[in-house]
Structure 1
Amino acid sequence: MTMTAASVGPQRYQERYPARPEAATQARRDIALALETWGLPHLSFAAEQIVTELVANAVEHTDAATVGASITRTGEGSARIVVTDTSRTRPTPVVPPADAEHGRGLLLVDALADDWGSELVHGGKRMWAELRTDAKP
Structure 2
Amino acid sequence: MLRTVVPLLRPASTFLSTSHQTCRLLSAAGASKVVELANDEDFSKAVSATKDAGLAVVDFTAKWCGPCKMMAPIYDAMSRQYDGVTFYKADIDQEPLTKSVEAHGVASVPTFAFFKGGKKVAAFSGADPNQLKRTLDDLS
Q: Which has the higher helix share?
A: 2
Q: Structure 1 length normalisation: TM-score?
A: 0.30
Q: Answer 1 or 2: which has greater strand percent.
A: 1
TM-score (norm. length: structure 2): 0.30
